[in-house]
Amino acid sequence: MMRPKTQDERDLLLYDSRLQRPVRMKTPEFERNGRIRHVIFSGQFTVPFLEELAGIADMIRMLSKSREGQDFLINLLPHKRAMLYFTQPSTRTFLSFNNACHILGMRTSEIRDPSTSSEVKGESFEDSIRTFSSYVDVIIMRTKESGRAAQAADLMNGIPRPVPVINAGSGSDQHPTQALLDIYTLQRSFEEHGGIDGKVIGMMGDLKRGRTVRSLCYLMKNYQGVRLVFIAPEQFAMQPDVKAHLDEHRIPYHETTRLDEALPSLDALYVTRMQTEWDTAGESRSVDLSRFSIGAPQLTRLKRDAIIMHPLPRGPEIDPSVDQDPRAMYWRQERNGMWMRAAVLMKIFGAEDRLSEIDPR
């Protein structure tokens, strides 16, 4: 494979190599009347959009604390029906989306077992997606293959009765709502410390194959003065395409294999697990994971107001004893995913305007 050279070339790869248009040309196709229509890749998100979504997520979170607020929320979209099409199993993302729908009163249908699909009868992917669109108001989809959600959005844009498509993870390329919840968690955590601007963010673990840290890097250009520290075994270092992107946007980054040295400087440490499912010859096993893990000894070297994030599920890279530490943010981060996904659904259906009707306190 040839190495992409320009931003457009990289966007193209990031998006979908089968569709011959770059990301920046695609973005308008995922909107409708200036409103977001399809949520396909994290490159779609602008800073104002991210901030608006975070505001909506805050409201949903606060409203969920009272019966009055909960009743307000379940009456927002009870007339809308979602399809959760998960041919790649994912308990966490599935539950997060399903409950985001339920918070807003939506009804859900699901396919989680590829073997019950009508593709068994030889139906094309396009026909399956169009069938779902016949019955529901939004398709939330997760696939093992790359580019499928983009393909579904393209199909929708060409039929008389399209419905929005939300990418809940398409192979190794994109998982935009994970990026949303990561940004939202950083925003919330640094709310009273000047926001994300100027922070030192460490990323640790399997940076080569970790989709979440890669997406997060691409979003960093939206913030001022951010510095990144990549802490990874040499064979799982951050890939050249990400580093070229950072160079282009003049975002400083530093690579190391020494967690202990990096720790004191960090405002946030984003830990990831080894992506063993992508191993072809047991590569992960060669890593001394203890050097890229966090437990009681590491906590003592971390700033008092730093935060620890993880996309979950976790392996041995975070000791369960860390959960008790106030800096452990990953369980809140997980729950933030549900609020952010509910915010996305509200935005897609234009329900955010109704938030002015209620006082969340």
Taking the complex as a whole, the smallest distance from the CB of residue 257 to a second copy amounts, in Å, to 24
Among 24, 47, 113, 248, binds a second copy (CB under 8 A): 113
Residues 272-291 that bind a second copy (CB under 8 A): 277
Name the active-site residue from 38, 142, 148, 208.
142
What are 253's strand-pairing partners? 228
Does residue 121 interact with a second copy by CB under 8 A?
yes
What angle do the packed helices 67-74 and 91-103 form, to 10 degrees?
100
Does residue 135 interact with a second copy by CB under 8 A?
yes
Question: In Å, what is the CA distance from 43 to each residue of 99, 124, 211, 267?
Answer: 26, 28, 14, 24
Among 123, 191, 247, 279, binds a second copy (CB under 8 A): 123
Does residue 300 interact with a second copy by CB under 8 A?
no
Q: Is 24 a catalytic residue?
A: no
- Contact present, 47 and 222 (Cβ < 8 Å): yes
DSSP track, 239-276:
PHHHHHHHHHTT--EEEES-HHHHGGG-SEEEE----G
Taking the complex as a whole, the smallest distance from the CB of residue 347 to a second copy amounts, in Å, to 17
* Closer residue to a second copy in complex, CB, 108/222: 108
Question: In Å, what is the CA distance from 297 to each residue of 261, 287, 300, 318?
Answer: 13, 20, 6, 12
- Contact present, 354 and 57 (Cβ < 8 Å): no
Taking the complex as a whole, the smallest distance from the CB of residue 51 to a second copy amounts, in Å, to 24
Task: Report how far residue 91's alpha carbon sits from residue 30's, in angstroms, rounded to the nearest whole number.
Answer: 27
Among 21, 32, 112, 347, binds a second copy (CB under 8 A): 112
What are 85's strand-pairing partners? 111, 141
Distance of CA 82 to the CA centre of its chain: 19
3-state DSSP call for residue 168?
strand
Q: Is 175 a catalytic residue?
A: yes
Nearest CA-CA partner of 238 in 265, 267, 203, 271: 203
Binding mask 223-252 for a second copy (x = CB under 8 A): ------------------------------
Taking the complex as a whole, the smallest distance from the CB of residue 314 to a second copy amounts, in Å, to 6
Taking the complex as a whole, the smallest distance from the CB of residue 73 to a second copy amounts, in Å, to 8
* Closer residue to a second copy in complex, CB, 21/81: 81
Name the active-site residue from 37, 38, 175, 341.
175
Residues 144-203 that bind a second copy (CB under 8 A): 159, 161
* Closer residue to a second copy in complex, CB, 128/172: 128
Torsion angle (degrees, nearest 10) of CA 201, 10, 25, 32: -40
Q: Which stretch binds a second copy (CB under 8 A): 53-61, 78-86, 207-215, 233-241?
A: 78-86
Task: Report how far residue 262's alpha carbon sits from residue 302's, in angstroms, rounded to the nearest whole number.
Answer: 9
Name the active-site residue from 5, 18, 67, 121.
121
Name the active-site residue from 92, 193, 285, 332.
92
Give the count of beta carbons closer than 10 Å to the beta carbon of residue 288: 8
Residues 17-76 that bind a second copy (CB under 8 A): 67, 70-71, 74
**Residue 246: CB partners within 8 Å, gap ≥ 6?**
217, 220, 228, 252, 253
Q: Is 121 a catalytic residue?
A: yes
Max Cα separation, the chain? 60
Residues 307-346 that bind a second copy (CB under 8 A): 312-315, 320, 323, 331, 334-335, 338
Binding site for a second copy (CB under 8 A): 67, 70-71, 74, 78-79, 81, 83, 89-92, 95-96, 98-99, 102-103, 107, 109, 111-113, 115-118, 120-124, 126-128, 130-132, 134-136, 159, 161, 277, 312-315, 320, 323, 331, 334-335, 338
- Give me the active site residues, please: 92-93, 121, 142, 175
